[in-house]
């Protein structure tokens, strides 16, 4: 594996979804972000908001609606997943992939 490939792998984006049971916004976000993870170097972490970690993240980010979505540990959204922000995230992932391929 080349150095550039190693750097690209280290740049994997982590997306955390803190979900509530029977939440249709959660199911929608999970589907969209799963599709994103199929196309980009994204690690998708799913947490139930009733677990200690899920509850802690919900409290830390003061999420009033589910799902809470974090990108690399930073607040991304709560409630219905904003499609415009997802497009911006996809564009950023595209730019990162293009820059890394150029370095190969």
pTM across the whole model: 0.83
104 in any annotated domain: no
103 in any annotated domain: no
The total number of structural domains in the chain stands at 1
Asked if residue 69 lies in contact with residue 42, where contact means CB atoms within 8 angstroms, the answer is: no
Q: The domain that contains 19 carries what CATH number?
A: 3.40.30.10
58 in any annotated domain: yes
Kindly state the DSSP code that residue 43 receives in the 8-state scheme.
E
Contacts of residue 91, Cβ cutoff 8 Å, sequence gap at least 6: none
What would the pLDDT profile of 11-63 be if each residue is shown by its tens digit?
789 999 999 999 999 999 999 999 999 999 999 999 999 999 999 999 999 99
102 in any annotated domain: no
Where in the sequence is the domain holding 90, given as residue range(s)?
Answer: 3-97
């Amino acid at each position: 594996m080349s150095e550039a490939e190693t750097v690209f792998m280290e740049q994997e984006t982590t997306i955390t979804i803190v979900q509530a049971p029977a939440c249709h916004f959660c199911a929608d976000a999970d589907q969209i972000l799963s599709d994103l993870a199929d196309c980009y170097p994204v690690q998708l972490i799913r947490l139930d908001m009733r677990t200690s970690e899920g509850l802690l993240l919900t409290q830390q980010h003061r999420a009033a609606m589910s799902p809470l979505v974090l990108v690399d540990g930073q607040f991304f959204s709560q409630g219905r997943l904003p499609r415009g922000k997802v497009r911006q995230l996809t564009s950023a992932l595209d730019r990162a992939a293009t820059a890394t391929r150029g370095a190969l």
